[in-house]
Chains A and B, each alone.
Chain A
Amino acid sequence: MSDLNSMTLAEARDALKAKKLSSTELTTALVRSVEQSRGLNAFVTETPDRAMAMAAASDARLAKGEGGALEGLPLAIKDLFCTKGVKTTAGSRILGNFVPPYESTVTQNLWNAGAVMLGKTNMDEFAMGSSNETSAAGPVFNPWRAKNSNANLVPGGSSGGSAAAVSGDLCLAATGTDTGGSIRQPAAVTGTVGLKPTYGRCSRFGIVAFASSLDQAGPMTKTVRDAAIMLGSMASVDAKDSTSVDVPVPDYEKLLEGGIKGLKVGIPKEYRIDGVPADIGGLWDKGAAWLKAQGAEIVEVSLPHTKYALPTYYIVAPAEASSNLARYDGVRFGHRTSDSIHDITELYEKSRAEGFGAEVQRRILIGTYVLSAGYYDAYYARAQKLRTLIKRDFDKAFESCDVLLTPATPGPAFGVGEKTSDPVSMYLNDVFTVTVNLAGLPGLSVPAGLTDNGLPLGLQLIGKAFDEGTVLRAGLAIEQAADFRHKPANWWRSA
C-alpha cells in the first residue's frame, strides 16, 4: 500500500481490526511522511522511536484481539498538551526545553485508547494567533497553494501545525485546542474538519493554559466521522479539572446515523457582515440549500449581540492570559535570562522580555490593562456582562432551532506575512468563531468548497451545549453534499 498515510482514521481503524494492515506498517508510513514533510514546519518535535514502540505494542494487542477505540492509529499532538517525557513548548521560547513530568488528561485518554504518538505540532505561541506565525519555531506553511501560485500561505492558527499535518497526510488525525477559533479556523483554511467541543467536555488538565474560561481541546481530522471517533476518546469528566462536566460520553460515531430530516437549522442574520467575500456568502447559502435538500428546515434566527463578540473576546482572553502566563517567570522552569541581573525584578523583566514573542507580550499588556484598578469596571466587568448577553442570544436562538449554520472564516488562507503587521485584521479572522467560545458551545468546521482560485473554505455548525451528536450529524450532511475530495498538490514532500 503506497499511500497508507492518506487513509482516514476510520479506514485505518477498520483495516487494523480486520488485520489487513499492521500498526507498524501504518506508523512506518506516517513517520516517513512526517520526515518528508519537514518543509511545512508542521512538527516541532518528532517522536519516531516512541511511535514505533507504541505501534509494536498496539500490534501485540491487536493480535490478541484486544485494543482500544484508537488502537494503533498514529496521531499528531498540538504542542500545548503536556506529554510526559516529551518536550512541550507551547510554541514559546519561554518554556525553553521544558519536559513535563506529567501527561495531560486528553492525551492520556488517547494513549489509553491505543493511539500512537508521532510527535508534537507547531502552533502560535501560547495559542495566540490566527496564522501560526507567532510560533518561536517559525511559521507553518499551508499544504494548499492558490491556483498557479507558488506563494506560501498560512495554515491558520493557532493549531496550524495540526491542521497542516492532517491536511498534508502527515498523520491520521491530530489534537487541537480552541480558545477563539484555533481549531475551526485552521481546519477551514486547510480543507480539514475541526471540532471545538462544549466547554467542559474535554479536560483542560495538563494543557498549557491560554484563557481558562475559553480553552477547549478538540479533534482535527480528515472527515466528520473521524472527528466523532476522536472526540469519543478525548472527552471525559476529570476530577483534576473542576470545570470539566460530568455528562456521559455517548458513542458519537453512532450518533452520525439517522440523517437530518426535520432538523431545524438556524441562519443567524447578524453573521452577514460587510467586507466578507462573495464566495463565503455564496457557500453559506449553498450549505443551507444542501441541508434543506436532505430534509432540514431552515429558519432565520437573530444573535443581536454578535457585533460585541470580538471586543468582548479580546478583553476576556487577554485578561485571563495575563494571569495564566505570570508563572513563566524564569524562577522554576523554562527560559531564564543569561544576562547578569541585580535583583528579582530584573530577572523577571529580562527573562520574560526574551522569552515571550511580540503577540504574547501585546496580549499580556492588554490583559494587565483591562484588569487594572480603575479600568476593571470599564473593560473586564462590562465584557463579562456582554458575555452573558451573547450566551443568552444563543439560548434564545436555540428555542427555535437545533443547530446553527454559519461561515467558519471570513476568507480563505492568506499569505505568510500578509497580516502580521496589522493585529486587528488578524483578530478579525475569529469573527465567526469567538462567539461559540464565549458561549461555551460546540462548533464544527467542515470543508465545503473551494474559492475561485482553488483554496478551501469551511462552514461552521454550532450546537447546544453537549449536543455534539447533532452538530456532527449535520456536519456529515454538509460533508456528503459538498463531496469535498480535493487534496492539496504535493509540492512540499522531499524524497
Chain B
Amino acid sequence: MSAPETKSMPSKLIKGQTGDWEIVIGMEVHAQVLSKSKLFSGASTEFGAEPNSQVSFIDAGMPGMLPVINEKCVEQAVRTGLGLKAKINLSSIFDRKNYFYPDLPQGYQISQYKNPIVGEGEVTIDLKDGESRLVGIERLHLEQDAGKSLHDQHPDSSYVDLNRSGIALMEIVTKPHMRTSEEAAAFLRKLRAIVRYLGTCDGNMDEGSMRADVNVSVCRAGGYEKFRESGDFKHLGTRCEIKNVNSMRFIAQAVEFEARRQIEIIEGGGSIRQETRLYDSRQGETRSMRSKEEAHDYRYFPDPDLLPLELDADWVAGIQKSLPELPDEKKSRFMGLGLSAYDASVLVAERELADYYEELAKGVDAKAAANWLNNEILGRLNRDGLSIVQSPVSAAANNAIVAMISDKTISGKIAKDLLDIVWSEGGDPRAIVEARGLRQVTDTGAIDAAIEAVIAANPEKVEEVKAKPKLAAWFVGQVMKQTGGKANPAAVNAALKLRLNLPDEG
C-alpha cells in the first residue's frame, strides 16, 4: 500500500478564537451484501416485503436453530475486499456480540471481532479540483443485521419486523484519513461506486442498504501531520461517533456541525467526552446518545456454532480474476483516451454512465463523445429528472449523431436540433437526417452560389471585410443562414477566403 497524501492544505484549517484547528474524520460504513438469502439462513433478503414474511426459524432465534454460512455472502465480502485492494484473510472467525434488544432475536449479533475476513486496503477519492487522495481501509467484516422495531403502530406497544434480521452486512472501517466534510462525502461516493461496480451492494442509501457512522475529532493545526508521521493517536483529539448519517448531504452537515461543537467546547475550557451521537437531519445538529461509560459490554467471544471460516487461496484468486474494471482503472484508461481527470471521474462515478459513455464513444473521438455526453445528454437528463439508464436516447443513437458531426455529415448546431428531435420523438438519427434533409452542404457549387448571393446583396460589406478580415464571421453567418444551417462551416470559411482574397489567419 502506498502512503497516502500527508500534506495538509491551508483550506483544511478552521479558524477558532484561540487559533487554527483541523478536523479528522474516520468512517464506519455498513453495506448490505447483495445476495438472495441471508448470512446464515435461507430466508429472502428482498426489500419492502410484508413485515415478518421473510423470517426463518434461525432469524427468529428459535430454540435449537443453528447458523449456516451463506457462501455467496462470503464471496461478496471477498470481492469487495479485492475491490478495496485489501488483504484477504484466508482464515477469519465469527464472534457473538451479546446484547439485549427486541429486534435482536438471538440476544447476540454474529459478527467478526478480532479476526475479520478482510484486512487493510485503500480507496482513492476524487475531489472537485480534480485532485485525488488515498483513504486507508482498516478492515472489512461480515455481520448480521438486526430486525426493525416499529414504535409508531400502537399507542403503548412496540412491534418488531424481523425481515431484516440476519441479512448480511459488510462493515467497512476506514482509518482516520479524511480531513474535510467534502473528503468524507467523496469517500462515501467512491465506496458506493466501487461496491456498485462490483455488484456486492446496491448502495441504496434511501432503503438503508448503505449506512454510515462518522467519527469526528478536532486537533490543533499540525496535529494530524504529527499523527501521520508517528502513527500515534495522542496527536489527535477525542473522537465522537455520529450515527444515522444516511445521505451524502447529511455527512457534510453533520461533520461541520460536530467540528464546530467540539472546537467551541475546547476553546471554552472544556474537554470532549468520547461518546456516540445521533445526527438529527431536521435540526441539522448532533445529539448525545450514550457516553463511553454507558457503552454496552458486548462480551464478544467466538461463536461456537460456527467453525473458523477458511478460504482457499485459489478460490480467492478466481474471484480476483473475475473482478470488473473498477472506477480508478476506468478513469485512467479514459484519461489515456484524452479525457481530462475531471471529465473521466465524472464519467466513471456510475458504472451505467461509464458503460453508456463507452458505447457512445465507439469509433468516434473520445473527447468529442465525452463533451457531447456531458454538455448535451447529462444536461437534458438533469432537466427531465432522469437517470442515465432512463435516457430516452440510446448510447448507440448518440454515437451515430457524434459520428455524423465528426464526418461532417451534420453541423454541431444541426446535431443539437437532431438530438432534440430524437429525444422527444424517438427514431433513428441517420434516417431522420436523410428524411428531413439535415445533411450538411459540402457541395462547393451550392456554397459558392450562396456566397455570391450574400455578396450581391451586401456590396458595402465586401469592402469592410477586406479592411477588417475578422468580419468574415459575419459572412459565414449569412451564408449559413442562406443554406438553412446545413452548410459545412469549414467549407464556407474556405470558400469565402478564396472568394474575398482574405489572409489565412481569418
Contacts and interface: CB of A to CB of B under 8 A. Distances in A.
Interface stretch (A53-61, A226-234, A325-333): A325-333
B153 to A, nearest CB: 15
A345 B101 CA distance: 9
A404 B448 CA distance: 112
A106 to B, nearest CB: 10
Contact of B64 (A82, A239, A323, A368): A82
A322 B299 CA distance: 10
B62 interface: yes
Interface in B83-124: 96, 98, 100-102, 105-108
26 contacts: A88-B63, A90-B63, A98-B63, A100-B62, A204-B64, A209-B305, A212-B305, A213-B304, A242-B67, A242-B69, A242-B305, A243-B305, A243-B306, A319-B301, A322-B299, A326-B107, A327-B107, A329-B102, A332-B60, A332-B61, A333-B62, A333-B63, A344-B101, A368-B299, A371-B301, A372-B299
Give the residue among B61, B66, B69, B107 with the most A Cβ atoms within 10 A: B66
Contact of A326 (B57, B60, B98): B98
Interface of A: 81-82, 88, 90, 95, 98, 100-102, 104, 204-209, 211-213, 239-243, 319-320, 322-323, 325-327, 329, 331-333, 344-345, 348, 368, 371-373, 376, 380
Interface string B149-178: 000000000101000000000000000000
A326 B99 CA distance: 8
B64 A242 contact: no
Interface of B: 57, 60-69, 96, 98, 100-102, 105-108, 158, 160, 297, 299-301, 304-307
A81 B63 CA distance: 10
Give the residue among B61, B297, B301, B306 with the most A Cβ atoms within 10 A: B301
Nearest to B102: A331
A98 B57 CA distance: 14
A326 B63 contact: no
Contacts of A371: 98, 299-301
Nearest to A200: B307
Contacts of A242: 66-69, 305-307
Given A206-B64, A323-B96, A371-B299, A329 B305 contact: no
Contact of A212 (B100, B160, B304): B304
A331 B299 contact: no
Given A205-B66, A243-B307, A320-B304, A327 B61 contact: yes
- Nearest 4 Cβ contacts at the A-B interface: A326-B107, A213-B304, A371-B299, A212-B304
A327 B63 contact: yes
Contacts of A376: 299, 301
B299 A82 contact: no
Contacts of B67: 242
A372 B297 contact: yes
Nearest to A89: B63
A208 B63 contact: yes
Contacts of A239: 68
A437 to B, nearest CB: 12
A332 B105 contact: yes
A204 B305 CA distance: 9
Contacts of A102: 57, 62, 64
Contacts of B300: 371
B107 A323 contact: yes
Contacts of B101: 344
Give the residue among A81, A213, A326, A332 with the most B Cβ atoms within 10 A: A326
Nearest to A208: B63
A242 B66 CA distance: 8
Nearest to A373: B297
A376 B301 CA distance: 9
A329 B98 CA distance: 13
A386 B372 CA distance: 70
Given A204-B64, A240-B68, 7 more contacts: A95-B63, A101-B57, A240-B66, A242-B307, A323-B299, A327-B105, A345-B100
Give the residue among A101, A206, A372 with the most B Cβ atoms within 10 A: A206
B305 to A, nearest CB: 5
B63 to A, nearest CB: 5
Give the residue among A98, A320, A325, A368 with the most B Cβ atoms within 10 A: A320
A101 B60 CA distance: 13
A242 to B, nearest CB: 5
A345 B107 CA distance: 13
Contacts of A344: 100-102, 158
Nearest to B99: A326
A239 B40 CA distance: 12
B57 A348 contact: no
Nearest to B299: A371
Contacts of B61: 327, 332
Nearest to B108: A323
A326 B306 CA distance: 18
Contacts of A332: 60-61, 105
A166 B63 CA distance: 26
A245 to B, nearest CB: 10
B467 to A, nearest CB: 90
B102 A323 contact: no
Contacts of B108: 323, 326
A83 to B, nearest CB: 10
A104 B66 CA distance: 11
Contacts of B301: 319-320, 323, 371, 376, 380
Contacts of B100: 326, 329, 344-345, 348
Contacts of B105: 327, 331-332
Contacts of B98: 322-323, 326, 371
Nearest to A212: B304
Contacts of B305: 209, 212, 242-243
Nearest to B63: A208
Given A242-B306, A344-B102, A205 B64 contact: yes
Given A242-B306, A323-B301, A371-B299, A100 B64 contact: yes
Contacts of A243: 304-307
Contacts of A322: 98, 299
Contacts of B107: 323, 325-327, 329
A348 B99 CA distance: 12
Contacts of B96: 323
Given A319-B301, A348-B100, A104 B64 contact: yes
B244 to A, nearest CB: 20
Given A320-B304, A326-B108, A332-B105, A204 B66 contact: yes
Nearest to B101: A344
B490 to A, nearest CB: 72
Contacts of A333: 62-63
Contacts of B102: 329, 331, 344
Contacts of B57: 101-102
A90 B62 CA distance: 13
B63 A82 contact: yes
Nearest to A211: B304
Contacts of A213: 304
Contact of A207 (B64, B299, B304): B64
Give the residue among A98, A332, A372 with the most B Cβ atoms within 10 A: A332
